[in-house]
Amino acid sequence: MTALAKRYWHALINQKKLFIYTFLWSFFLWITSPFLIILLKSVGRNWFGKRWLPPELTLDWYKWALTIANIPQVLSNTLIIAAIAVTISTLLALPTGWALGRRKVPAKEVLTSIILLPRMIPPIAYALGIAQIFYRLHLVDTHLGVALAHVAICAPYAILVLSSTFEGLDERVLEAAAVCGASQLRTFFHVTLPLVLPGILSSIIFTFTTSYNEFTLTLMTYGPHTITLPVRTYLAVGEGYWEVTSALSIILIIPSLFVLFMVQRQVQPEKLVGGFKGV
Amino acid sequence: MSHFTNKRQNLITFLLLSPGLAGFFGLFFYPMLVTLFRSLRPEGQTSGWTLGNYAAFLSDPDFRGIIWLTFFLAITSTFLSILLSVPLALLLRRKPVGHRLFRLTILVPITVPGLIGALGLLLFWGSRGWFNLLLLQVFRLKAPLTINYTLTGLVIFYVWHYFSYTAITTLSTLEGLDPAFEEAARVAGATPWQVLRYIVIPLIMPGILSGSVLTFMAAFGAFSIPLITGGNYRPLSVAIYKQIGIFIPARWSAASAMAMIMAALQVVFLIFYMRILRRPMA
Amino acid sequence: MDDNMIELRNVTKRYGPIVANANVNLSVRRGELMTLLGPSGCGKTTALRCITGQVTPDEGRVFIDGVDVTDVPTHKRELGMVFQNFALFPHMTVYENVEFPLMIRRVPQGQRREMVMDALRLIRMESYAQHYPRQLSGGQQQRVGLARALVYHPKVLLLDEPLSNLDAKLREEMRFEIRDLISRLGITALYVTHDQAEALALSDRVAVMNAGRIEQVGTPDEIYESPRSRFVADFIGLSNFIRGKVLAIERGMAIVAVNHIKLMVPAAEGTQVGQDILVFIRPNDVRLFPVDFAKAENTFEGVVHKLTYLGDTIDYRVIVAEGVQIRVQTDGKVRFNAGEAVKVCLPEARCRVILE
């Protein structure tokens, strides 16, 4: 009896490779098949009941999405808002990140924790306050208003990434440049800038993704003129036309895939989540 | 003289810090204050003080249910994320065929808009989705399993959306681990399982925990996912939104009180979590 | 039955097109300390990993204590190992680190404590039992590494460059401590290093490895005095190589023609008349005499080309016949100047023939 069990056990161990790949591919399918389904849904017609694949193909839903759901407008809203949010966040984060990364700041740890606080508190809590303030300031339903709301959550990220970039700058390299006779301006353009550019780029990628995907803060500050992609998707789900919603999602997912590619190429993903260890 | 330059340096530092601080105070601190004050006003009024909003919620069994649900979802999905991430990281570390693809896959849920992911998940796990087709046609089940709008479904969706943080941190910690430790343990007589249990897991624990903090925070504050996939299950964020999204006139004070309770709970839990995180290898 | 504790028999290991180990044969006798010496990338780490079981050879077998362990997993091989970077578990105290192999083996608690304390006493670290590795110096960490490797009385002890992460002074002290410890315990040990001084000072026997092959195995003395290949001679110390042709072999002595001069050299096994060979001699075996010195064996006239003062020795480059330069190291008692004519003596007994 035990001999038999042992043999089965060994057979299983020998199948280790099979196990590993089954696990990895199930994981892959679990993550990606929802998107595959959306894709199929967006080009399928009469896809009901017990069918694995849609019986007929059509591009009608995309036409609907473009006309009725007003995708060009939504996409331009989203990109304008993301651009403003990225710009403001980066402008805020550059000096502050420099101070935190390279200057003597009293109670630096406390200060860093405070600046990161917006990422630790559920956004809905301050979204309520922002909505009321912006209402009074007539910022609701403007691109600037929605973008400013996004800055609340984007800026801490940018500061985090930039301060660690600046902190990582090697003082000796800058000194070497100065010793070699480079003027401050030349040092900046030829030495400092190339060194920090990857950090700034990753900060921009992160803030862009955050703004592009932000839902909570948008929901509290948007209006008919500032519908963004996540809000549009939310509304479409509520309207119940799954096929049109799918078509819409596929269009809107393309920039995200581009970002995904950039993240993979440009930055180490652990930086995306790092920095909280010391909080 | 040096006193003077010191003062000047401090001023420069302050000026450099001020944009970030302005953003913090204007877009976080002030809004939080507004939320706090609003939560202390009687509903629909702009003056007067009351603790009634808090009292009403804290004595309401429904509200307590909401808090339990929020914690349940956050803790369960954090725990499951760890259970998924550790084997995943252990396998990917050996660089199996296609490991680049799997690494990219880990990043998908945090780069693709959550709502689109949620939409796809609803389609996939629905009673006519591929999951149930698989059960019915391949495993010959009689009736489809209901996943969408159930607690199980919600947990699955949460893990899908938020496990990335844990997985990325676990993987990067594991890759920073010196293989000599494992070799030393193996030579000393430990089986692969014992190496995992006594050496690898304890050594990457801080990484796992710091990643899982992020998963927990994201899951605790989750809004868009439960909003469209939660059905009748409404964790705190959704419950807060319903106060202003459904009720006419909107119940701002009630929503604010709930938001303050939620923020306090999260901070308390985080402090508690950080304590655990800092304990190993003290 | 031979008394080999570790034996690699015809072991070959390839990584793609790279051959890390090419038909390696190596045996370590019971109770002996053998050094596997070679430059980095020579395959010594691969050979070691074949013994630990981290690497499975493509061809050949591995034996430990007469048992074929080629297919036995690492943890069942009963080995003790010391690592270059110490590899102490950072989340465990010194005590727990040393206890680890015993815990894995489920040694009863009371006995366990005794064995751990014995091992710690052996390396004089008993008072550090409750410290964490990062609170210790490099030398202390490596001693704990030794204790962890020895605590369960393994069949053999493997040491993978154990001293290369320590500073020079400490390295020398630890060298003797390790030698002493291993002799006292009488354990079989294989010591991997790239440091020839360490190898010569420590070992009973040395195996010199190059490009995936074992070049020569012998006592430190044999390796130093009679290297069998140019690589071994070069790697172990300073060498002169003089290219020549064997003219004749008489009574075990080869007569070698180098340009105009003739050298008498003890013939190596397989030396043949007419063969092109290298004559090898260490610079400190070469003698220098004033030019009016009476003629002796293998003595030639030459001119001091260059000299370098090295404190206790002087390093000369002497040009003998056209194009033949000989390096000589002497103590500073008799001095010659650059440009001075001298007599150079290559004592027959110190010369070796190296076949290429």
Measured torsion, CA atoms of residues B23, B25, B26, B28, in degrees rounded to the nearest 10: 90
- Give the residue on A whose Cα is nearest the Cα of B243: A128
Q: Are B73 and B219 in contact (CB under 8 A)?
A: yes
Nearest C-alpha of chain C: how many angstroms from B97?
A: 17
Q: Are B112 and A215 in contact (CB under 8 A)?
A: no
Is residue C134 domain-shared with residue C189, that is, in the same domain?
yes
Residues of chain B under the 70 pLDDT cut: 1-4, 277-282
- Residue A274 pLDDT > 60: no
Q: Are B237 and B226 in contact (CB under 8 A)?
A: yes
Q: Which residues touch B157 (CB under 8 Å, ≥6 apart)? A: B118, B121, B225, B229
Q: A2: pLDDT confidence band, cut at 50, 70 and 90?
A: low
What is the spatial distance between Cα A62 and Cα A32, in angstroms, rounded to a whole number?
21
Which domain, by its residues, includes C272? 240-355
Residues of A in contact with B18 (CB under 8 A): 95-96
- Residue A184 pLDDT > 80: no
Q: Are C336 and C258 in contact (CB under 8 A)?
A: no
What is the spatial distance between Cα C154 and Cα B207, in angstroms, rounded to a whole number?
34
Q: A188: pLDDT confidence band, cut at 50, 70 and 90?
A: confident
In our burial notation (b when 16+ CB lie closer than 10 A, e otherwise), range B165-195 reads bbbbbbbbbbeeeeebbbbbbbbbbbeeebb
The residue among C212, C235, C258 that closes a domain is C235
Is residue C140 domain-shared with residue C173, that is, in the same domain?
yes
Is residue C221 domain-shared with residue C248, that is, in the same domain?
no
Phi then psi for residue C123, to 5 deg, are -105, 15
- B120 → closest Cβ in A37, A51, A263: A37
Q: According to the model, what pLDDT value does residue C216 have?
A: 94
Q: Do the bridges between strand C205-210 and strand C188-193 make them parallel or antiparallel, or are there none, so unpaired?
A: unpaired
Please identify which residue in the block is written with the tokens 């159930």: B150
Q: Are C250 and C273 in contact (CB under 8 A)?
A: no
Residues in chain C: 356
Residues of C in contact with B281 (CB under 8 A): 90-91, 132
Decide: helix, strand or coil at residue C198: helix
Give me Rg for the CA atoms of chain A. Answer: 25
* B194 lies within 8 A of chain C by CB: yes
For helices A60-67 and A242-266, the axis angle rounded to 10 degrees is 80
- B281 → closest Cβ in C52, C75, C91: C91
Please count the CA atoms within 13 angstroms of the CA of B240 that sit on its side-chain side.
32
* A264 lies within 8 A of chain B by CB: yes
Nearest C-alpha of chain B: how many angstroms from A175?
A: 20
Is residue C78 domain-shared with residue C222, that is, in the same domain?
yes
Q: Which residues touch A183 (CB under 8 Å, ≥6 apart)? A: none
What is the spatial distance between Cα B34 and Cα A127, in angstroms, rounded to a whole number?
10
C and A interact (at least 3 Cβ pairs within 8 A): no
> Which tens digit of pLDDT belongs to each residue from C4-29?
899 999 999 999 888 899 999 999 99
What is the CATH classification number for the domain harbouring C258?
2.40.50.140
CA-nearest of A277, A119, A267, A276 to A206 is A267
**Angstrom distances, CA of residue C206 to CA of B100, C20, C51:** 44, 19, 17
Is residue C227 domain-shared with residue C326, that is, in the same domain?
no
A213 DSSP 8-state letter? H
Is residue C151 domain-shared with residue C272, that is, in the same domain?
no
**Angstrom distances, CA of residue C282 to CA of C121, C194, C197, C225, C349:** 43, 21, 16, 8, 12
Q: Are B237 and B262 in contact (CB under 8 A)?
A: yes
Q: Write down the pTM of the prediction.
A: 0.84
Q: What is the DSSP string of C138-165?
A: HHHHHHHHHHHHHTT--SEEEEESTTTT
Q: According to the model, what pLDDT value does residue C295 have?
A: 72
* Domains of chain B, each with CATH number or no CATH: 61-277 (1.10.3720.10)
- Residue A279 pLDDT > 70: no
Provide the β-strand partners of residue C218.
C206
Q: Are C328 and C312 in contact (CB under 8 A)?
A: no
| All chains having 3 or more CB pairs closer than 8 angstroms to chain B | A, C
Is residue C73 domain-shared with residue C219, that is, in the same domain?
yes
* B201 lies within 8 A of chain C by CB: no
Which residue spans of chain A are classified as CATH 1.10.3720.10?
67-272
Nearest C-alpha of chain B: how many angstroms from A2?
A: 21
Give mean pLDDT, residues C161-181.
Answer: 89
* C241 lies within 8 A of chain B by CB: no
Q: What is the H or E stretch that residue B170 is in?
A: helix B151-175
Q: According to the model, what pLDDT value does residue B231 have?
A: 84
**Angstrom distances, CA of residue A263 to CA of A207, A212, B111, B278:** 12, 15, 9, 30
What is the spatial distance between Cα B30 and Cα A137, in angstroms, rounded to a whole number?
14
CA-nearest of C202, C175, C254, C168 to C34 is C202
Residues of C in contact with B191 (CB under 8 A): 73, 75
- B180 → closest Cβ in C83, C91, C152: C83
- A103 → closest Cβ in B13, B31, B114: B13
Residues of C in contact with B179 (CB under 8 A): none
- Superfamily assignment of A67-272 in CATH? MetI-like (1.10.3720.10)
* B202 lies within 8 A of chain C by CB: yes
* B231 lies within 8 A of chain C by CB: no
Give mean pLDDT, residues C116-125.
Answer: 92
Is residue C260 domain-shared with residue C339, that is, in the same domain?
yes
Is residue C155 domain-shared with residue C214, that is, in the same domain?
yes
Please identify which residue in the block is written with the tokens 């006779």: A181
> Which tens digit of pLDDT belongs to each residue from C133-154?
999 999 999 999 999 999 999 9
| Inter-chain touch B113–A233, beta carbons under 8 Å | yes
- Give the residue on B whose Cα is nearest the Cα of C154: B188
Phi then psi for residue C25, to 5 deg, are -120, 125
Q: According to the model, what pLDDT value does residue A269 have?
A: 60
C and B interact (at least 3 Cβ pairs within 8 A): yes
Phi then psi for residue C351, to 5 deg, are -85, 150
Tokens of residue C133, six digits? 């590795």
Residues in chain B: 282
CA-nearest of A246, A224, A180 to A34 is A246
Chain A residues 203-262 with CB within 8 Å of chain B: 209, 212-213, 215-216, 219, 229-230, 233-234, 237, 242, 245-246, 249, 252-253, 256-257, 259-260
Q: According to the model, what pLDDT value does residue C1 have?
A: 45
Q: What angle do CA A37, A43, A46 make, to 5 degrees?
A: 90
- B189 → closest Cβ in C91, C101, C158: C101
Q: Which residues touch C178 (CB under 8 Å, ≥6 apart)? A: C146, C159, C162, C163, C202
- C85 → closest Cβ in B178, B190, B280: B178
- Residue C192 pLDDT > 90: yes
**Angstrom distances, CA of residue A240 to CA of A217, A275, B155, B230:** 23, 40, 23, 16
| Inter-chain touch B228–A237, beta carbons under 8 Å | yes
Give mean pLDDT, residues C310-330.
Answer: 86
What is the CATH classification number for the domain harbouring C16?
3.40.50.300
For residue A201, with 0-12 CB atoms within 10 Å meaning exposed, 13-18 middle and 19 or more buried, which class applies?
Answer: middle
- Residue C184 pLDDT > 50: yes
* C192 lies within 8 A of chain B by CB: no
Q: Are A132 and A204 in contact (CB under 8 A)?
A: no
Q: Do the bridges between strand C67-68 and strand C205-210 make them parallel or antiparallel, or are there none, so unpaired?
A: unpaired
| Inter-chain touch A237–B119, beta carbons under 8 Å | yes
The residue among C235, C258, C286 that closes a domain is C235
- Residue A278 pLDDT > 60: no
- Give the residue on B whose Cα is nearest the Cα of A231: B115
Query: How many of the other CB atoms lie within 10 Å of CB of C146?
Result: 26
* B204 lies within 8 A of chain C by CB: no
Furthest-apart CA atoms within chain C: distance in Å: 79
Top mean-pLDDT range of B145-154, C88-97, C237-246, C298-307: C88-97
Q: Which residue has the higher pLDDT, A241 or C243?
A: C243
Is residue C29 domain-shared with residue C94, that is, in the same domain?
yes
Tokens of residue B30, six digits? 């002030």
Best of B187, B195, B201, B281 to substitute, by most chain C Cβ atoms within 10 angstroms, is B187
- Residue A277 pLDDT > 50: no
Q: Are C182 and C157 in contact (CB under 8 A)?
A: yes
**Angstrom distances, CA of residue B221 to CA of A167, B67, B104, C337:** 31, 12, 25, 86
Q: A95: pLDDT confidence band, cut at 50, 70 and 90?
A: very high
Give me Rg for the CA atoms of chain B. Answer: 24
- Residue A194 pLDDT > 90: no
* B185 lies within 8 A of chain C by CB: yes
Is residue C45 domain-shared with residue C188, that is, in the same domain?
yes
Nearest C-alpha of chain C: how many angstroms from B87?
A: 21
Residues of B in contact with A270 (CB under 8 A): 168-169, 171-172
The residue among C235, C265, C291 that closes a domain is C235
Q: Mean pLDDT over all residues of chain C?
A: 90
Is residue C318 domain-shared with residue C261, that is, in the same domain?
yes
